[in-house]
């Protein structure tokens, strides 16, 4: 027989995954910010050779920040909102299924944030020409180009 509160194990795995997705998205977003900020890189502001009316990748960085911020909110454990069910026979409900559905949204946010980072990195490589990248970086560069 399964012990009571058996869904807690699943919930913990979900929450660890929340944390990992959110943390990785935060790291990726910070790298995007560093690439688009001339104070923290050798690249021009917002990865555009002619700043001014051309905002370059400014909105891409804002989008990465927004996706990361949304993931922070989504990373709140769903079990904090337990509601008794089944005629009050189940006084603790893990909310694991609804919590698991959040993972899909968080994964989409993470994928989009990584895609933004890849585009920014490719633009940075273009701006640093004639410098060349290594073999693996060159393969990554070719994917979105």
Is 117 inside a domain boundary? yes
CATH label of the domain that carries residue 39 = 1.20.200.10
DSSP SS3 for 55: coil
Is 37 inside a domain boundary? yes
100 Cβ partners below 8 Å, 6+ apart? 10, 14
Is 2 inside a domain boundary? no
pLDDT of residue 6: 58
pLDDT of residue 7: 60
pLDDT of residue 27: 98
Is 100 inside a domain boundary? yes
pLDDT of residue 45: 94
Backbone angles phi, psi at 27, to 5 degrees: -65, -45
Q: Is 1 exposed, middle or buried (0-12, 13-18, 19+ CB in 10 A)?
A: exposed
Counting the structural domains of the chain, the total is: 1
CA distance 47 to 125: 10
Sign, CA torsion 137/38/119/50? negative
Query: Which mean pLDDT values do the consecutive 10-residue runs of the chain (145 residues) have?
Result: 57 88 97 96 94 90 98 84 72 72 94 98 96 94 89
Which of these, 115, 111, 106, lies nearest to 18 by C-alpha position? 106
The C-alpha angle with vertex 99 and arms to 109 and 108, in degrees rounded to 5, equals 15
What is the Cβ-side half-sphere exposure of residue 142, based on CA atoms within 13 angstroms?
8
pLDDT of residue 1: 43
The domain of 69 spans 7-142
Is 29 inside a domain boundary? yes
Is 1 inside a domain boundary? no
Is 88 inside a domain boundary? yes
CA distance 93 to 31: 39
CA distance 43 to 122: 12
């Amino acid at each position: 027989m399964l012990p009571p509160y058996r869904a807690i194990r699943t919930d913990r795995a979900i929450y660890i995954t929340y944390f990992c997705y959110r943390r990785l998205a935060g790291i990726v977003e910070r790298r995007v910010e560093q690439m688009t900020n001339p104070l923290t890189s050798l690249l021009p502001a917002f990865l555009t050779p002619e700043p001014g009316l051309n905002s370059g990748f400014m909105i891409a960085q804002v989008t990465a920040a927004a996706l990361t911020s949304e993931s922070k909110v989504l990373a709140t454990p769903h079990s904090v909102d337990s509601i008794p069910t089944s005629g009050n026979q189940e006084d603790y409900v893990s909310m694991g299924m609804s919590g698991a559905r959040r993972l899909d949204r968080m994964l989409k946010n993470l994928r989009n944030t990584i895609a933004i980072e890849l585009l920014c990195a490719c633009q940075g490589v273009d701006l640093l020409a004639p410098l060349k990248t290594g073999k693996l970086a060159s393969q990554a560069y070719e994917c979105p180009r």
